[in-house]
């Protein structure tokens, strides 16, 4: 049963600390997304990769967030330094295809910054 | 700009009742895609359906059915004979045009099915 795998599932950290979230997309998928879910903003796109190249990261606060794909089986989202307002559930999703593809989501990383 | 509106914040029904979730969208694109996702209490987002703007045929999958009407810019979702396991947050989403890679989500509708 192919699925997107995210680690960790839960993370509690102190303000100012670095946070790294990892995602293993479904094998063979060439698009990877990072979404953030909060009560206030709902689901927002943070970054989008196609064939490992970042094509859109306009949704990310550039000064503290960074997203990379070191290889086709790993995507990372880093926050440094973390702030309480970053508390949210971060979802990774992957898809097959270029346009208007359905995205398959992982279980999310619930981040709490205290 | 693309926008998805799910006016119903919460719906509560008793098991076996039918429940319809409304989704109204706005887009200037002539080609676009609509989606529904389910987010159960466990938290993951589960893909349910994708429809393109040229296919207005209604679709049925088991107890789920979807009604797409371009004239009213709506893509409504009905769960027939609801079950407790249907309790979840349901999201409608849209992609297309210059945003052909990203999903614009509605705010979601929380469905609670009581036994």
Residue B85's SS3 state is helix
How high does pLDDT run on average in chain A?
93
Q: What per-residue confidence (pLDDT) applies to A57?
A: 87
pLDDT digits (tens, 9 = 90+) for B72-103: 999 999 999 999 999 999 999 999 876 677 88
Asked whether the predicted pLDDT for residue A97 surpasses 80, the reply is no
Per-residue pLDDT, A1: 66
Would you call A66 exposed, middle or buried from its count of C-beta atoms within 10 A (0-12, 13-18, 19+)? Answer: middle
**How many Å lie between the alpha carbon of B15 and the closest alpha carbon of chain A?**
27
**Cβ-contact A66, A47 below 8 angstroms:** no
Q: How confident is the model at residue A98 (pLDDT cuts 50, 70, 90)?
A: low
Nearest residue of chain B to residue A30 (CA atoms): B101
Q: Which chain A residues are closer than 8 Å to B42 by Cβ?
A: 107
Q: Which residue of A has its CA nearest to B33?
A: A100
Q: Mean pLDDT in each 10-residue stretch from start to end of chain B (115 residues)? A: 93 97 94 94 93 88 94 96 97 84 92 97
The pLDDT of residue B99 is 66
Out of A48, A102, A106, closest to residue B102 by CB = A48
What pLDDT is attached to residue B106?
Answer: 96
Q: Do A105 and B100 touch (CB under 8 A)?
A: no
């Amino acid at each position: 049963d192919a699925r997107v795998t995210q680690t960790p599932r839960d993370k509690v950290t102190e303000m100012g600390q670095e946070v790294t979230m990892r995602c293993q997309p479904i094998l063979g998928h060439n698009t990877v997304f990072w979404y953030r879910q909060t009560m206030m903003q709902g689901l927002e796109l943070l970054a989008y990769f196609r064939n490992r190249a970042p094509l859109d990261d306009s949704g990310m606060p550039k000064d503290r967030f960074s997203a990379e794909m070191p290889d086709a089986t790993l995507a990372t989202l880093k926050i440094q330094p973390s702030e309480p307002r970053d508390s949210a559930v971060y979802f990774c999703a992957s898809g097959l295809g270029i346009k208007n593809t359905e995205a398959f989501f992982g279980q999310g990383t619930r981040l709490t910054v205290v | 700009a693309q926008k998805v509106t799910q006016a119903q914040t919460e719906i509560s029904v008793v098991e076996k009742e039918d429940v319809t979730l409304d989704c109204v969208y706005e887009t200037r694109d002539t080609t676009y895609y609509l989606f529904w996702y389910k987010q159960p209490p466990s938290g993951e987002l589960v893909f349910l359906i994708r429809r393109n703007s040229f296919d207005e045929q209604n679709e049925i999958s088991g107890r789920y059915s979807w009604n797409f009407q371009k004239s009213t810019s709506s893509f409504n979702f009905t769960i027939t004979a609801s079950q407790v396991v249907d309790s979840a947050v349901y999201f409608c989403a849209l992609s297309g045009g210059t945003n052909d890679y990203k999903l614009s989500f509605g705010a979601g509708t929380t469905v609670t099915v009581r036994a």
